[in-house]
Amino acid sequence: MHSLNIIGAGNLGRTLGRLWHERQVFRVGGICNRSLASAREAVAFIGAGSAATEIGAMAPADFWLIAVPDDHIEVAAQALAAHLQRLPQHAGANTPSPTSTPTPTPVVFHCSGAMASSVLTDCLPARIASAHPVHSFADPARSLHDLPGSYVALEGDASARSLLEEAFANLECSCITLTPEQKVLYHAGSVMACNYLTVLLDLSLRTFSAAGIDENTARQLLGPIVVKTAQNNIALGPQKALTGPLVRGDIRTVARQLDALSQLTESAPPITPPTLADAYRLLGKAALPLAQKAGLNADTAQKLHTLFDEQTRE
């Protein structure tokens, strides 16, 4: 079994570490976080490994996962590169145990969606790659159950990709391959669908709250329709999934909603822009081309566009 060290065992690192340990995909070795308390928590969650706070103190491993926040990956990779230079394994002197598969040089990978593996260049001649699980690791305990079935976008060294594909297949995850050039826009697409959906739900809950509906009730109301809408979008595509006043051309309904949101903004300061009304306008404008493809006539679309362009009432 290959060994795995983790630098940065937060939400993602803990989840992957625990799943790979439980499914005996990797033998988890060192777990390095900034604070010892956090590293020990990660060891307890994973159920294996030894806590560290210095990359330079970590034992050799076949795989190194750098799962620190994106802005810290390069610095962590530089520290790891200096450490790898001092380890015999890096010079090709790896002597695997009889039960392990020999790896000529270690695999070093990160899980950022936006960055390519080139941020790990200092670690060469290690085999560098990036592996971005298209999953929201909001709560590691939930992710243990929810991650299987997700996709992972791989990029980088071919042999590292192949080994990582096998490791993720053991978590029931399917992989796709991306070029380094694709990563930023690929990730922006994921952010819009996943993170911005969360922002949209927050805006929705704030609007429900303004109507005097408490958050628990609102979340219960939204649960089935949000899940169903997501399923419709995946199954049918956005054009067929779009319903509601815009696609029906119900201009007066849209005007009344916009008016109510604008008044709300005025009557409940301090609300910093973008306000609920701003968000409603912007997304309404973004919806119009989709609504037109779904059958909204050009004249009504133009009237709605004009409505969304009007300034918030003084």
Ligand X SMILES: NC(=O)c1ccc[n+]([C@@H]2O[C@H](COP(=O)([O-])OP(=O)(O)OC[C@H]3O[C@@H](n4cnc5c(N)ncnc54)[C@H](OP(=O)(O)O)[C@@H]3O)[C@@H](O)[C@H]2O)c1
Hey, CA dihedral for 282, 283, 286, 288, is it positive or negative?
Answer: negative
Shortest distance, position 190 Cβ to ligand X, whole Å:
8
Q: Can you tell me the distance from the alpha carbon of 87 to that of 189, in angstroms, rounded to the nearest whole number?
A: 39
Name the residue nearer to ligand X (CB basis): 32 or 123. Answer: 32
Name the residue nearer to ligand X (CB basis): 32 or 287. Answer: 32
- Decide: helix, strand or coil at residue 155: strand
- H helix intervals, the chain: 11-22, 36-46, 70-86, 140-146, 158-169, 183-190, 196-210, 215-236, 238-241, 245-248, 251-267, 276-293, 298-309
Both tokens assigned to 213: 């509906």
Rg (CA), the chain: 24
What number of other Cβ atoms are within 10 A of residue 134's Cβ? 18
Shortest distance, position 17 Cβ to ligand X, whole Å:
11
Name the residue nearer to ligand X (CB basis): 150 or 312. Answer: 150
Name the residue nearer to ligand X (CB basis): 31 or 288. Answer: 31
Asked if 218 and 208 count as a contact pair (C-beta separation under 8 A), the reply is yes
Shortest distance, position 6 Cβ to ligand X, whole Å:
9
Shortest distance, position 142 Cβ to ligand X, whole Å:
11
Shortest distance, position 43 Cβ to ligand X, whole Å:
12
Shortest distance, position 32 Cβ to ligand X, whole Å:
5
Residues 6+ apart with CB under 8 A from 297: 249
Name the residue nearer to ligand X (CB basis): 111 or 173. Answer: 111
| Binding stretches for ligand X (CB under 6 A) | 7-13, 32-35, 38, 67-70, 72, 76, 110-113, 132-133, 136-137
Please report, as a single letter, which amino acid is at residue 250.
Answer: D
- Decide: helix, strand or coil at residue 198: helix
Residue environment code for 71-88, b if the CB has 16+ CB neighbours within 10 A, otherwise e: eebbebbebbbebbeeee
Name the residue nearer to ligand X (CB basis): 30 or 60. Answer: 30
Shortest distance, position 149 Cβ to ligand X, whole Å:
15
Name the residue nearer to ligand X (CB basis): 76 or 218. Answer: 76
* Residue of minimal Cβ distance to ligand X: 10
